[in-house]
Amino acid sequence: MILKIADLESGYGGSRVLRGIAFSVAEGESVALLGRNGMGKTTLLRSIMGLLRAARGTIRFAGQRIDGRRPEQVARTGLAFVPQGREIFAELTVEENLLLGAMGAGGLGAAVPEDIYGRFPILRERRAQRGGTLSGGQQQQLAIGRALAGRPRLLLLDEPSEGLQPSIVIEVAEALKREAAEQGLTLITVEQNVDLALRVAERCLFIENGSIVAEATSAELRHDPALIHKHLAI
């Protein structure tokens, strides 16, 4: 198990958003976290990344405890995070954005791995352009490329389909799947878009009121969508 979370409680200020989260992810596995808005999906990713301090419980990554560490320390153990809204550096060029991803993991002298441009050819084409001038789909590719430039072992994605056209959602999903298969990358994707989740993930976890209430493989869910309706329908 590359990631092992036990009894995790976390939240903002005094309020507990996560109430005893527990799950494990195997190396190379792709897992989707599904649930309605406000159920704690983003809070969970932010807690793993160290942006929120866990009030209780443990988070282990590759055997070592990472709860209580600062985000930069968590990142350096091999995690990368593509936040909701992408958060690319709008004033910096595409190349500088990618370079920062590489530098965060490899130090000031690091270079952008060539295969990032191979996977996202549009980023090579636009490498000298400022990040803020890219379209939504290109910005998402840049955010993912920037995270991958640090050669993480585990990639956390928060709503990668948000604000994207359906055709681009599929493109993003395929790029992620290929990356995971070729690099042995482990993926945890938070999604509202069930289509993308089932495309990328082998296993789906349903989160409700800060706990994991059900899980199923994507194959099972494709045959029997009842679980999806139960946990996601309004």
Partner 1 sequence: MDQALLLLLDAANYILVIVLVAMGLVIVFGLMRVINMAHGELFLLGAYTLVMLQQAGVSYWWGLIAAPLLVGLVGLLMEELVIRHIYHRFLDTILATWGLSIAIKQAVILLFGPGAQSTSAPFAAQLDLLGTPYPAYRLFIMAVALLVVAGTFYLFFRTRFGLAARAVIANRQTAACLGISTRAFDRATFAYGAALAGLAGAVMAPIMSVDPQMGLGFLIPAFLAILVGGAGHLGGPVLGAGLIGATDSVTASLWSPVLAQVVVFTMAVVAIRLFPSGILGGGRK
For residue 20, state whether it binds partner 1 (rule: CB under 8 A): no
For residue 91, state whether it binds partner 1 (rule: CB under 8 A): yes
Smallest CA-to-CA distance from 164 within 49, 55, 84 is with 84
For residue 92, state whether it binds partner 1 (rule: CB under 8 A): yes
d(CA 15, CA 31): 27
Nearer to partner 1, 91 or 233 (CB): 91
For residue 61, state whether it binds partner 1 (rule: CB under 8 A): no
Quote the tokens at residue 33: 């976290």
Least distance to partner 1, CB of residue 156, Å: 9
Smallest CA-to-CA distance from 145 within 114, 110, 108 is with 114
Nearer to partner 1, 74 or 198 (CB): 74
For residue 170, state whether it binds partner 1 (rule: CB under 8 A): no
Which 129-168 residues touch partner 1, going by CB under 8 A?
Answer: 146-147, 150
d(CA 72, CA 80): 10
Smallest CA-to-CA distance from 41 within 179, 229, 213, 181 is with 213
Nearer to partner 1, 45 or 216 (CB): 45
> What strands lie across the sheet with 56-61, from one edge to the other?
15-25, 3-12, 56-61, 64-65
Which 106-135 residues touch partner 1, going by CB under 8 A?
Answer: 108-109
For residue 178, state whether it binds partner 1 (rule: CB under 8 A): no
Q: Which of 40, 83, 160, 210 binds partner 1 (CB under 8 A)?
A: 83
Query: What pairs with residue 93 in β-bridges?
Result: 130
Query: What pairs with residue 155 in β-bridges?
Result: 80, 187
Nearer to partner 1, 75 or 172 (CB): 75
How deeply is 107 buried, as exposed, middle or buried, from its count of CB atoms within 10 A (0-12, 13-18, 19+)?
exposed
SS3 197: helix
159, 191 in Cβ contact below 8 A? yes
Q: Which of 2, 99, 190, 205 binds partner 1 (CB under 8 A)?
A: 99
Q: Which of 49, 54, 198, 201 binds partner 1 (CB under 8 A)?
A: 49
For residue 51, state whether it binds partner 1 (rule: CB under 8 A): yes
Sites of contact with partner 1 (CB under 8 A): 49, 51, 70-72, 75-76, 80-81, 83, 87, 89-92, 96, 99-101, 103-105, 108-109, 146-147, 150
